[in-house]
Amino acid sequence: MRDLALCLFIFILAKHVSSVPTKEQFQSCLSTISKTPNNLSKHTSDSRLYTASLKTSSPSSNFLNLNFTSLKPILTLKPQSESEIKKAILCSKKLGVQVRTLSGGHDYEGLSYLSLTPFIIIDLVNLRSITINLTEETAWIQSGATLGELYYKIAKTSKVHAFAAGICPSVGVGGHISGGGFGTIMRKHGLASDNVVDARLMDVNGRILDRKTMGEDLFWALRGGGAASFGVVLSWKVKLARVPEKVTCFISQHPMGASMNKLVHRWQSIGAELDQNLFIRVIIDNSVEGGQRRVKTTFQALFLGGVDKLIPLMNQKFPEIGLRAQDCSEMSWIESIMFFNWKSGQPLETMLNRDLRYEDLYFKAKSDFVQKPVPENVFEEVTKRFLEQETPLMILEPLGGKISEVSESESPYPHRRGNIYNIQYMVKWRVNTVEEMNKHVTWMRMLYDYMTPYVSSSPRGAYLNYRDLDLGNNTGTKTSFEDARVWGEKYYRGNFKKLGLVKGKIDPTNFFRNEQSIPPLF
Distance set, CA 213 to CA 198, 200, 203, 341 (Å): 11, 10, 12, 39
Helical ranges in 389-510 per DSSP H:
402-405, 434-450, 481-492, 496-506
Question: Catalytic one among 151, 362, 448, 466?
Answer: 466
> What integer pLDDT is reported at residue 335 of this predicted model?
97
Q: Are 444 and 492 in contact (CB under 8 A)?
A: no
Q: How many CB atoms lie within 10 A of CB 62?
A: 17
> How much is the pTM?
0.91
**Higher pLDDT pick, 80 / 65:** 80
pLDDT digits (tens, 9 = 90+) for 480-501: 899 999 999 999 999 999 999 9
In this predicted structure, the answer to whether residue 62 has a pLDDT above a threshold of 70 is no
Dist. CA 445–CA 12, nearest whole Å = 27
Q: Is 108 a catalytic residue?
A: no
> What integer pLDDT is reported at residue 453 of this predicted model?
98
Look at domain 130-243+467-506 and name its CATH class.
alpha beta
pLDDT interval class at 61 (50, 70, 90): very low
Which strand (E) or helix (H) includes residue 135? none
What's the whole-number mean pLDDT along residues 362-376?
A: 96
In this predicted structure, the answer to whether residue 207 has a pLDDT above a threshold of 60 is yes
Q: Which of 447, 493, 453, 454 is nearest to 470 (CA)?
A: 447
Q: Which of 185, 215, 180 is nearest to 201 (CA)?
A: 215
**Higher pLDDT pick, 432 / 246:** 246
DSSP 409-427: TSSS----TT--EEEEEEE
pLDDT interval class at 354 (50, 70, 90): confident
pLDDT interval class at 55 (50, 70, 90): very low
Burial of 1 (0-12, 13-18, 19+ CB in 10 A): exposed
**Domain ranges across the chain:** 130-243+467-506, 247-331+356-452
pLDDT digits (tens, 9 = 90+) for 437-464: 999 999 999 999 999 999 999 999 999 9
Supply the DSSP symbol for 120: E
**Higher pLDDT pick, 414 / 24:** 414
> What integer pLDDT is reported at residue 361 of this predicted model?
77
In this predicted structure, the answer to whether residue 190 has a pLDDT above a threshold of 90 is yes
> What integer pLDDT is reported at residue 288 of this predicted model?
82
Q: Are 382 and 394 in contact (CB under 8 A)?
A: yes
Look at domain 247-331+356-452 and name its CATH class.
alpha beta
| CA 288 remoteness from chain centre | 29
In this predicted structure, the answer to whether residue 56 has a pLDDT above a threshold of 60 is no
In this predicted structure, the answer to whether residue 47 has a pLDDT above a threshold of 50 is no
Helices 376-386, 434-450: axis angle to 10 degrees equals: 170
In this predicted structure, the answer to whether residue 234 has a pLDDT above a threshold of 90 is yes
> What integer pLDDT is reported at residue 275 of this predicted model?
97
In this predicted structure, the answer to whether residue 252 has a pLDDT above a threshold of 50 is yes
Q: Are 233 and 178 in contact (CB under 8 A)?
A: yes
Longest dimension (CA), the chain: 70
**Higher pLDDT pick, 265 / 4:** 265
In this predicted structure, the answer to whether residue 92 has a pLDDT above a threshold of 80 is yes
> What integer pLDDT is reported at residue 12 of this predicted model?
46
In this predicted structure, the answer to whether residue 49 has a pLDDT above a threshold of 80 is no
pLDDT digits (tens, 9 = 90+) for 291-336: 888 999 999 999 999 999 999 999 999 999 999 999 999 999 999 9
What is the four-CA torsion angle of 110, 113, 115, 119, rounded to 10 degrees?
Answer: 170
In this predicted structure, the answer to whether residue 350 has a pLDDT above a threshold of 50 is yes
Dist. CA 356–CA 351, nearest whole Å = 10
Dist. CA 113–CA 100, nearest whole Å = 6
3-state SS, residue 302 = strand
For 24-77, give the secondary structure using H, E and C: HHHHHHHHHHCCCCCCECCCCCCCCEEECCCCCCCCCCCCECCCCEEECCCCEE
In this predicted structure, the answer to whether residue 6 has a pLDDT above a threshold of 80 is no
Dist. CA 143–CA 126, nearest whole Å = 10
Distance set, CA 466 to CA 140, 363, 433 (Å): 25, 12, 23
Q: What percent of the chain has pLDDT over 70?
A: 88
pLDDT interval class at 4 (50, 70, 90): very low
What's the whole-number mean pLDDT along residues 232-251?
A: 98
Burial of 265 (0-12, 13-18, 19+ CB in 10 A): middle
> What integer pLDDT is reported at residue 307 of this predicted model?
98
Q: Which of 298, 313, 437 is nearest to 363 (CA)?
A: 437
Q: Which of 512, 468, 502, 511 is nearest to 488 (CA)?
A: 468
DSSP 341-388: TT-TTS-GGGGG------TT-EEEEEEEEESSPPPHHHHHHHHHHHTT
Q: Which of 166, 128, 169 is nearest to 148 (CA)?
A: 169
